[in-house]
A = this chain, B = another copy of it.
Amino acid sequence: MQKVYLDNAATTRMHDEVLAAMQPYLTNVYGNPSSIHSFGREARKAVEEAREKTAAALGGEPREIIFTSGATEANNVAIRGVARALQQKGRHIITTAVEHHAVLDACKALEAEGFKVTVLPVDAYGMVSPRDVADAITDETILVSVMLANNEVGTVMPVAEIGKICRERGVVFHTDAVQAIGVLPVNVDDLQVDLLSLSAHKFHGPKGVGALYVRKGTKLKVFSFGGAQERKLRPGTENVAGIVGLGKAIELAVTDMEAKVSRIKAMRDKLMTGLLSIPHTRLNGHPEKRLPGYVNISFQYVEGESMILSLDLKGIAVSSGSACTSGSLDPSHVLMAMGLDHQTAHGSLRLTLSAYNTEEEIDYVLSVMPEIVARLRAMSPVYPGKD
């Protein structure tokens, strides 16, 4: 059966060159980077080269890069770390309603500990207003965290504008850039961010490794103890092969980005137009300020998981903001924050492309989708145009 992977927001296939770069560190270069003998020094060199590549891709300094086990950890270290380091200065944090749970739940946990957390609303497109950020900042504010691009609808946030505001007001600014690497220009100075999280597997690197950019001078208090690795901000024997993979992946991600992006966009537009030609559909997320590979569409009268399963049986992998895919009861907090009603949220489908997709794959998806939707609608008790 033909297999079509359109869930690149969940994870991506690893680039062959990334695996090739990792291979020595999975076999004969196995030293611990903390060891001073030749085995250790070879591993150390590889880690530091990856750090340089990561810094170069983001426009920062190598010593500003901390490798982690992923963006979840990077987000937690950033949010909790700043909160704890600056709690004497103030105990107010600002974030948005559409952040990843790693950010949102870390903030909520701090709220339970006595911090004040302002969760800013978003508009119907999932966009936060820089104005709202500015208005929310008080003398007590120590941290603002706004994602660079949303991982469900792909809406790209005005992070540079918010960064400017935060800098003027002297507030530390963190952005979760997980979905943006390789598809948007990500430069820590242009964005005026102090902290930035990323995860290698979202841009054709390995799973289980990420990075946190920490601008020089940014104070973080850590809660994880052990060795002196990563300037003590992230102790534990380094995932050498993973870090090398991240370095290679980010280097490849920013190479020829525009060409890749315009190819992805062309496929995306074809997919979007085709799907929207099915009746009772609507696009979720911002029509323009959106990641190039994102199509999030709601199909009225049908539930997301049933569409995922139906597509899966045709070899097509997508995801949904429906509660049924997460095991929780409520549909996606992102779609709800955008004001969608429950039915529309439950009927959402997220199709996310990468450079590995082809136009033939898009054609294939468009050829099977109408039938699938029709079949499920025919079963639906809420579908008005019965049988």
Contacts and interface: CB of A to CB of B under 8 A. Distances in A.
Contacts of A106: 225
A219 interface: no
A223 B109 contact: yes
A71 B229 CA distance: 14
B36 A325 contact: yes
A268 to B, nearest CB: 19
Nearest to A326: B228
A237 B223 contact: no
Contacts of A101: 225-227, 235
Interface residues of A, number: 73
Interface stretch (A308-316, A369-377, A378-386): A308-316
A238 to B, nearest CB: 7
Total copies of this chain within the assembly? 2
A80 B76 CA distance: 15
Interface stretch (A52-60, A89-97, A179-187, A203-211): A203-211
A92 to B, nearest CB: 19
A70 interface: yes
A206 B241 CA distance: 9
A281 interface: no
Given A30-B12, A37-B311, A208-B242, A227 B72 contact: yes
Contacts of A312: 36-38
A32 interface: yes
A305 interface: yes
A119 interface: no
A263 B75 CA distance: 46
A109 to B, nearest CB: 6
Contacts of A279: none
B237 A199 contact: yes
A139 to B, nearest CB: 27
Of all A-B residue pairs in the complex, the 8 with the closest CB atoms, nearest first, are: A208-B239, A72-B236, A105-B225, A69-B69, A102-B226, A72-B226, A37-B317, A11-B32
